[in-house]
Amino acid sequence: MHTPDGKLAGVDRIAREYGGCVLHERYDTGKGYAGESLDVYDAGRRVWHQTWVDNGGTLLLLEGGLRGGARVLEGQDTAADSKVMRHRMIWMPNADGSVRQHWEFTDASGRWTNAFGGRYMRK
């Protein structure tokens, strides 16, 4: 995965598992931060669901679907200080086959703040 300016943000391994029904992502910056997610389409509710966990104890439960050609998932988490933050992740396909990810969260005043921007490219 690369930042918008082309720098390596980390190594991201994404695999289809369980007959192609689950996307399993493993992410590692190589600088001490690592996490992974499971993504599945819940056909009964017609929503995409992602569970994200990391080595900092974060648990994010995100849900959503397709909006205007992008996959948009939203959810919230509660910090150790009991503050609730909303999260939104957007994945947009690029013409070259790569995918752009934009992750944002609400700050203490409720304004959306950029958390991460990156680009997935096949090796």
> 3-class secondary structure for the chain?
CECCCCCECCEEEEEEECCCCEEEEEEECCCCCEEEEEEEEECCCCEEEEEEEECCCCEEEEEEEEECCEEEEEEEEECCCCCEEEEEEEEEECCCCCEEEEEEEECCCCCEEEEEEEEECCC
- Output the pLDDT for position 9: 76
pLDDT at 1: 65
Q: Is the pLDDT of residue 3 over 80?
A: no
Residue 108 above 80 pLDDT? Answer: no
Average pLDDT over residues 15-37: 94
pLDDT digits 0-9 by tens, 35-81: 999 999 999 999 999 999 999 988 999 999 999 999 999 999 887 78
